[in-house]
Amino acid sequence: MRWAPVFPLESLGVIDYLAAAMSDSPTLTLLPGTLELCILRALRWEPTHGSGIGEWIRLVTDGAFDLEEGTLYPALHRLQRRGLIESEWGVSDHGRRARFYHLTAAGRARLPQLLSGWDRYVEAVNRVARYGHPALWAQAPSS
């Protein structure tokens, strides 16, 4: 009998993500749920307009996450509906009217939870990636 995962990796989009990550493309596809963490982290210090959030994410990831407007703005609206961020109109550095987003108390409380969850996720994936043959499962992974 062949073992089958309870949640096939294909249904989670992980296989597509890994294939994209291993391609020659300089950009990566965000895993579900990671955009929320990136946006909240970008707003950690000060109110920022949407394109500034996207630019910050692009810069700190060395271009790995180059967000399109059609990805970023719907995510901002979702976070706003959930009460994690708020926005108000202001003037950008270029003298244009822009909507500036900032964290709410709920957003500030959610960010450490997301960071903790992300750390656990990365640790778990690293363990899977580093474990060897099933005969070695009783041993700790080598670094």
Reported as a pLDDT band with limits 50, 70 and 90, residue 140 is low
141 touches 131 (CB < 8 A): yes
Q: Could you tell me the fold of the domain covering 32-122?
A: Arc Repressor Mutant, subunit A (1.10.10)
pTM of the predicted model as reported, rounded to 2 decimal places: 0.74
Query: 48-49 and 97-103 as β-strands: parallel, antiparallel, unpaired?
Result: antiparallel
Q: Mind listing the pLDDT tens digit for each residue in 27-43?
A: 778 887 899 999 999 99
Residue type, 130: R
Residue type, 41: R
The rounded distance, in Å, linking the Cα atoms of 88 and 100 is: 5
Residue type, 46: E
Instruction: For residue 49, list its beta bridge partners.
Output: 100
Instruction: Tokens for 82, please give them.
Output: 């959930």
Q: Mind listing the pLDDT tens digit for each residue in 66-108?
A: 988 999 999 999 999 999 999 999 998 888 999 999 999 999 9
**Residue range 1-22: average pLDDT?**
49
85 touches 43 (CB < 8 A): yes
